[in-house]
Structure 1
Amino acid sequence: MSDIQIPLPLVQTSLSALPMYQSPHLIATYSHLPDRSIQHSDASISYHKGASIGDDLKAGYGSYIERDPLLNEHLDGLCQSLLKYRKEGGSLKSGALITWRGMLTSYYTTSPYACRLLTAAFSDRDTWEMNAVAFNGNVYLEDHVTKEERLKRIEEEKAYKQQSYFGYSFEAFSTTDVKPKAGKTALEKAKKRKRPSEIAVNTNVQWCCVVKSKIGVKIEVGFRDAQGTLINLETFMTSQIPRTIHKTPNAPWDAAICLQTFEALVAQVLGQVITTDPIPTWKSEGADLSSIPEATVWRIKFQPKQGLLMKKLGAYTPENEDPKQRWGFLPLSFVEKMLE
């Protein structure tokens, strides 16, 4: 089968009808512990307490422990969470795209931020690749980065490692792992609890602190000077950010165009990948768990200003992975339990 080209849709205005998306709702939570094991609880949650002007964001630099950048965890945590959700009575709709948030928006690279599906219309430089597989009526999407590319990224990131740490540090100054309770004493303990030198594991660069309140979700953004001292704090309501950007002269992106482009691209990706789901036929032929058919994995490459290039890989197993433990790039144990 030849490669499939999906061009960027010609969306020229933000006045066109918007796709109908619901606000997200929580179905499950889990935490990565310091050893990267998964616990189905809020064990790793941090609570907002607010940083202070004058905080030294360099504090603790050189003694913190990072997540192994060569570790490829695929969608394993998400899969475990979905299994728990189903065990507790939840069900998955067919025709869904299942992936991480960053696969839809952006991810941190040697360039400031590389655009993904939701922001593809405004990306003019960065390329990226993803793997996709259809399983039991839904399409799962994961990042595709080779070991060589990861090593190259590690080397390039050394040049601004301390600047990246400022983001970790701001998060630590802004949050605490002790849930604040009513009363001055508890809040004082919370404020003393967590400083940057106590950071155990960091998984993402955070330049802002996300706060959920009764009126919606807010982000608190910290601004620093060249020496890494926090000099200003600003808070934004996430629901208002697209409107604010829209009013900005020469706005770098437009929320309506992002949604329209995303809808068009994902509809075509789902349409191609879902047809290679072997499970419906397998179910109609008897659904013997001892003979689950092979997965068909696709490679999706984004070409700036052009669109997506899709290639069928067939029965693909990620590099350095045991094919007996994987169904495509999904955990085989997840596949088997979902089909029981």
Structure 2
Amino acid sequence: MKRTSSALDHPLPARPAKRREASPSDPPSASTSNATSSLALPPLTPPTRPPPFQQPLPLLTFSYDSAHILYFNDSSKRYYVDPPPGADLNYGYDKWIRRPDERGRLDALLRAYETAREKAERKPELGNVTAGAVCWRGVMTKILTAPYESRDGFALNVMLFNDTLYLEEHLTSARLKEKNDMPPRQRLMTYYGYAFESWCTSDSPSGGGWGGDVNTNAQWCQVVKTKLGNTRLVMGGEVDCVRPGQDTLVELKTSMAIRGQQDEARFEKKLLKFYLQSFLLGVPEIVVGFRTPQGHLTTLQSFKTLNLPRMVRGKPGAWDAQVCLAWGDNVLSWLRTELSRDSDSNLAGRGENREDGVPSVWRMTFTPGEGMRLAKLNEEDVRDVAGHVDEDRIGFLPRWFLENEEAYKAANGEATGGPVGETAAEGSVDGKATTGSVDGEEGDAVFDSAPPQPAARSATGSTWKI
């Protein structure tokens, strides 16, 4: 099998010398605005042949504690409890410990990916864990919802290394400052979501009251493998809680109480993101707390994730999940084609902006109503993506991960994360490829049963400070 930009063929560059950090006032370089390739948005009509999507299979979970230190255990796992009637979502606002928004690095997910592959060597039932693409769940949600996004654009950094795509959200210094300096009203609205999660969860299966402390450093995350079309995906994302005694995953959301048709239409539009966020990680239930403008809980409603597409079907301007999945499949295939072409052309000699054998860094930019544009970054932009020299990155990937990938490839031969045949079933939950549906009706892509849940894990584990 042909390899692309293997680190076994070309040594990684030496660690860089100290360099100047990019200033927020630095103008964008030409490479980020001159696209080398583009992909137009699809028509909003159901595809004649939607891509298969395999049921997400849990690989492992990990926790961040109150100091945001990573542990491969379930110490931050929470259990669902019913909130008190009329709960005040303003409660505890003055004690909120909010972790600042920062660049969406893949480091924790890459640690989990390596751990999952080691686990798969001991548990053959996990199948092939080698991925064709690795990203956080939020990144894939942005890609999939793009056909219906009319307001907010986004940008992703992309690398291809040893046949695996890596994607992270790109946030400029100005955008990070904007996210961390929210206007007071917007900050309060954000807190309402965290307060609802706190009212609805307990650190014990037997329940217990909430003392009013919200610390967004603490998180419990799940890592899954799945397959969209011909691309094996490994994704990670935060999970709010589980049902006590069942351990089925639950996503918690808040929304304004519905007072008329306009509110109903807004809520149904929000359901697309609710749906995909849960669908991608195999979360079967979404509990929505409806609130007043002043932040008091009025009603509580539970939704089955797989039923959401049916709720909006046939309504004016309704979204269709099959459109989203087909678009996501096209985006991943397009990225692989474009980046593989560049890697092949640079194997024989030094590329314009990289050392021999070191993958280029690309920027994929989404413009609402238009589609995706792809551009290869120049040296200055790559330095900005890499961040401070102390992080020791090659592109946005940490050096330790690329070095570990060298060792893994050397030990395991030519197993890659590249595309697999349409009939391949390895890694599926039930031993056969799942062409499942997004809502349980014929012609869609349904799972045969509720997504499996991760087994309980010990309270001890390796730790890294991220």
- Map of 2:368 onto structure 1: 304
Any idea what SS the aligned residue of 1:166 has?
helix
State yes or no: 1:5 paired with 2:20: no
Aligned to 1:261: 327
User: Residue 136 of structure 2 aligns with which residue?
Assistant: 100
Amino acid at match of 1:85: A
Q: Distance in 1 between matches of 2:356 and 2:300?
A: 54
CA distance in 2, matches of 1:64, 1:156: 15
Calculate percent identity across the aligned residue pairs: 27
Aligned residue among 50, 56, 61 for 2:88: 56
Return the alpha-carbon distance in structure 1 between the equivalents of residues 90 and 311 of structure 2.
Answer: 32
- Residue aligning to 1:87: 118
Distance 1:36 1:73 in 2: 14
Please list, as runs of the form range in 1=range in 2, the aligned pairs for 1:57-206 lying within 5 A after superposition: 57-69=89-101, 71-90=102-121, 92-93=129-130, 96-105=132-141, 116-178=142-204, 180=205, 187=206, 190-192=207-209, 194-195=210-211, 197-201=212-216
Please give the alpha-carbon distance, in whole angstroms, between the structure 2 residues aligned to 1:267 and 1:242.
Answer: 25
Q: Whole-Å Cα distance in 1 between the matches of residues 137 and 299 of structure 2?
A: 28
CA-to-aligned-CA distance 1:250-278 (integer Å, 9 cap, x gap):
14421111112222222101211234458
Partner SS, residue 142 of structure 1: strand
Aligned length in residues: 305
d(CA) in 1 for partners of 2:39 and 2:356? 35
The corresponding residue for 1:19 is 51
3-state secondary structure, aligned to 2:287: strand
> Given the superposition, is the C-alpha separation of residues 41 and 210 from structure 1 closer, same or farther in structure 2, using an over 3 Å criterion?
closer
Q: Counterparts of 1:93 and 1:53 in 2: how far apart (Å)?
A: 46
| Bigger Cα displacement from structure 2, 169-178 vs 220-229 | 220-229
Map of 1:287 onto structure 2: none
TM-score by length of structure 1 reads 0.81
The answer to whether the 8 A contact 2:64-2:218 is kept is no
Query: Structure 1 residues 269 and 46 mapped into 2: Cα distance closer, same or farther (>3 Å)?
Result: same
Summarize the Cα distance change of 1:239–1:332 in structure 2 as closer, same or farther, 3 Å threshold.
same
Equivalent pair of 2:42/2:147 in contact (CA under 8 Å) = no
1:273 to 2:334 alignment:
no
Q: CA deviation at 1:25?
A: 0.9
**Taking structure 2 as the reference length, what is the TM-score of the superposition?**
0.60
Tell me the residue number matched to 1:213.
248
Contact 2:50–2:326 at 8 Å: present in 1 too?
Answer: yes
Counterpart amino acid of residue 4 in structure 1: T
Q: 1:314 to 1:277 in 2, by over 3 A?
A: farther
Query: Unaligned regions of 5+ residues in structure 2, if any?
Result: 1-30, 122-127, 220-237, 250-281, 349-354, 408-466
In the aligned structure 2, how far is the partner of 1:9 from the partner of 1:64? 40
Are 1:226 and 2:293 an aligned pair? Answer: yes
Q: Secondary structure at the match of 1:149?
A: helix
Per the TM alignment, residue 8 of structure 1 is displaced from its structure 2 partner at its CA by: 2.4
Q: Which has the higher contact order (CA 8 A, sep 6+)?
A: 2
* 8 Å contact kept, 2:68–2:217: no
Shift of 1:235: 0.6
Q: 1:327 aligns with which of 394, 397, 402?
A: 394
Residue number in structure 2 paired with 1:241: 308
Which stretches of structure 1, 4 residues or more, deviate above 6 A after TM superposition? none
> Which residue does 1:183 correspond to in 2?
none
| Matched residue, 1:111 | none
Q: Pairwise CA RMSD of aligned residues?
A: 2.9
Amino acid at match of 2:208: K
Structure 1 Cα separation of the partners of residues 95 and 283 of structure 2: 36
Give the aligned residue type for 1:45.
K
8 Å Cα contact 1:220/1:236 also seen in 2:
yes
The aligned counterpart of 2:450 is: none
Which deviations, in whole Å up to 9, do the C-alpha atoms of 1:22-61 show, x marking residues without a partner? Answer: 0111112111122222111111111111212221111101
Q: Contact conserved, 1:47 with 1:176, CA < 8 A, in 2?
A: yes
Post-superposition CA distance 1:197-232 (Å, at most 9, x none): 12222579x9x8775639971111001112221110
CA offset at residue 99 of structure 1?
Answer: 0.3
Asked if the contact 1:8–1:265 (Cα under 8 Å) also holds between the matched residues in 2, the reply is no
Q: Distance in 1 between matches of 2:151 and 2:213?
A: 37
Aligned to 2:16: none
> Aligned in 2, Cα 1:80/1:319: closer, same or farther, shift over 3 Å?
closer
Q: Which amino acid aligns with 2:113?
A: L
Question: Structure 1's 52 and 209: CA in aligned 2 closer, same or farther, altered over 3 A?
Answer: farther
Q: Which letter does structure 1 place at the counterpart of 2:116?
A: Y
Counterparts of 2:160 and 2:88, CA distance in 1: 48
Aligned to 2:357: 293
Q: Structure 2 counterpart of 1:118, which letter?
A: L
